[in-house]
Chains A and B, each alone.
Chain A
Amino acid sequence: MTQPLLKVDRISKRFGGNQAVKETSFHVNKGEILGLIGPNGAGKTTAFNMIAGYLESDTGDVVFEGVSIKGRKPWDICKAGIGRTFQLSKPFGDLSVRENIMVGGFARSADRKRIASRADEVVDFLDMKDVAEMDALDLTAFDRRKLELGRALATEPKLLLMDEVVAGATPSEATEMVELVKKIRDTGVSILIVEHVMHVIMNLSDRVIVLDFGNLIADGNPHEVVNDPDVMKAYFGEKYVQQSA
């Protein structure tokens, strides 16, 4: 097997008495969409933050393209080729949508012309031409999400970490987002996605991993994973699994 794009090796994070993530290992292959699911408080966002450099893992290592990135700062990790979106997207005010996307472009180039034309490409890609010159703070919640995605894409990532991209979206918006994520993958970007909405995860992911109380409890194709008794137990409790057995 070829080397995975991202290898997370026994990472842990303890906040005081709370072990948010415990010796968790997983990997993202090149070109794949990996879904990360788990009940509330399972440590998904903490794991994300450890990959993206917002938190440093207490143990183990995070290896991207064969190089350890553990302990590196978020801006260095961005430059290494990992982009991310947040649960709450806050556009940069006093800048248009297009200019917001340009902010990401400066990470790769100092040439304004190149950055501007790249931003136009991203605007087209996201189908946001109509709002491109609008102040980003005037966008609807869903357009804000798309814009955040666009900013991350402008940094030309090889791996994109996406945190709950369809939270609060209408069904048609969710469908649009699913198509968009697939389109991003088709451009050669690998994706690690955290999501609560199951049908989005089932639709998108090539593979799903499940975190529960900081432990990795399942890893496999989406349909196998959702029928895994351990996963059901984590989501619905012991009783539910016994009843349905």
Chain B
Amino acid sequence: MFGSATTLERALILIVAAFLVFLPSIVRDPYHIHTATMIVYFSFMAASWNFVCGYVGQLSLGHSVFSGVAGYVTVLMFTQMGLSPWIGMLFGGFFAAVLSLAIGFPTFRLKGPYFTLTTIAFAEIMRIWFENTDNFIGIPLKGSEGLVVPLVGDSFWAFQFNEKLPYYYIALALLAIIVIATAIMERSKLGYYLKAIRGDRDGAEALGINPTKYSLIALSISAFFTGIGGAFFAQFFRYINPERNMGIDLSIDMAIMSIIGGQGTVLGPILGSFILHPIAEVARTSLGGSFLGLHLVIYGAVLALTVLYFPQGIIVPLRKLLARISGGDVK
């Protein structure tokens, strides 16, 4: 969608990017910075999900397993081996990518609901295993209690900062990376192939495409990024447990934000997160105590409305509107 973006769209993207970069000079309240960081984090996670699921047209509801496993790898490498979380994060990402191949190889042969159910099953099995395992061959997983990242104070090496601001900029940098990666992928052979597989799997095979192979390539990249996000989350809260970092809620968030924003586009998932996370946050803070899970009700309502009126995501009518304003053609 970068390639076909109108001038107005490009300008708008730049304005939003500049706004995000300079936001902390307008907003100084730590709570607001925290919320902004979470919005950017969810944008990154939704975009990571979209990298495979949006383009290949398969609904994974088990992506949180990559986030969780990579988060654990990062935290454990720090606490057990004294390795910097920056390096642990990459290891975690690779670990998630390898795991994704093991999960994806059997599941990508399945279609539609069968694929979705299998991804849920894998992720839930892993979560339950983590919750019930205190010690695995000498590695202290501490079950459902989770792991705390020991405080070492303001240290770049240890990925720990006294202020919220550095986390915000790290999340923003990660988001920039996934946006660029997705834009490059979309215009590469992989992007064409994924769209072909989504459009007609048999037809794609007849054109020399091995659907499992290319789905797995995209899945492993997606899992790598999701893992990086999971590691970031663990560092941001200095805490990781199976439910928050590996639970199905996170998987659903990633999927729904992408679907509502516009899956299979570079910026759709980010739009989805920018719309949904603030709604959820407001619902949680203003009504959270008395109405637990209200944000999920709102998600459901927004999802239903989007599917009814903008089945390809909110980004589609938005782009049409922008094109009309600038008088250009929409693809």
Binding site for B on A (CB under 8 A): 52-54, 73-75, 78-79, 83-86, 89-96, 99, 102-104, 106-107, 110, 133, 135, 148, 151-152, 154-155
Contact = CB atoms under 8 A, between A and B. Distances in A.
Contact of B195 (A83, A84, A93, A110): A93
Contact of B192 (A84, A103, A133, A148): A103
A110 B189 contact: yes
A180 B196 CA distance: 25
Interface string B190-212: 00110110111011111111100
Given A86-B202, A94-B264, A110-B189, A104 B207 contact: yes
13 contacts: A53-B205, A54-B205, A74-B206, A78-B206, A78-B207, A78-B208, A93-B198, A95-B195, A103-B196, A103-B207, A106-B189, A152-B206, A155-B208
Size bracket, chain B contacts: 10 to 19
B1 to A, nearest CB: 9
A133 B329 CA distance: 11
A5 B173 CA distance: 56
Contact of A107 (B200, B207, B264): B207
Interface of B: 189, 192-193, 195-196, 198-200, 202-210, 264, 331
A152 B203 CA distance: 9
B199 A83 contact: no
B209 A91 contact: no
A103 B205 contact: no
Nearest to B189: A106
B124 to A, nearest CB: 32
Contacts of A53: 205
A154 B331 CA distance: 23
Nearest to A73: B210
A36 to B, nearest CB: 17
A106 B194 CA distance: 13
Contacts of B331: 96, 133, 135
B206 A106 contact: no
B207 A152 contact: yes
Nearest to B207: A104
The interface centre, meaning the residue of B204, B208, B210 with most chain A CB atoms within 10 A of its CB, is B208
A155 B205 contact: no
B331 to A, nearest CB: 7
A86 B207 contact: no
The CB with the most chain A CB atoms within 10 A, among B195, B199, B207, B331, is that of B207
A90 B200 contact: yes
Nearest to A137: B199
Given A73-B210, A103-B192, A90 B205 contact: no
A75 B206 CA distance: 6
Contact of B207 (A73, A135, A155): A155
A84 B22 CA distance: 54
Contact of A75 (B192, B195, B205, B264): B205
B200 A151 contact: no
Contacts of B206: 52, 74, 78, 83-86, 152
Nearest to A96: B331
Contacts of A152: 206-207
B199 A75 contact: no
Given A79-B208, A86-B206, A102-B192, 13 more contacts: A54-B202, A54-B205, A73-B210, A74-B205, A74-B206, A86-B202, A91-B200, A92-B196, A92-B198, A93-B198, A103-B195, A106-B208, A151-B207
Contact of B193 (A52, A86, A106, A155): A106
Tell which of A53, A95, A107 has the most Cβ of chain B within 10 Å: A95
B150 to A, nearest CB: 47
Nearest to A79: B208
Of listed B199, B202, B206, residue having the most chain A CB within 10 A: B206
Contacts of B192: 95, 99, 102-103, 106
A73 B208 CA distance: 9
A147 to B, nearest CB: 11
A84 B189 CA distance: 21
A93 B202 contact: no
B199 A91 contact: yes
A183 B189 CA distance: 29
Nearest to A133: B331
A186 to B, nearest CB: 23
A96 B204 CA distance: 15
A47 to B, nearest CB: 16
A154 B210 CA distance: 17
Nearest to A49: B202
A148 B189 CA distance: 19
A96 to B, nearest CB: 7
Contacts of A103: 192-193, 195-196, 204, 207, 209
Contacts of A151: 203, 207
Contacts of B202: 54, 74, 86
Contacts of B200: 90-92
Contacts of A92: 195-196, 198-200, 203-204
A90 B203 contact: yes
A54 B202 CA distance: 8
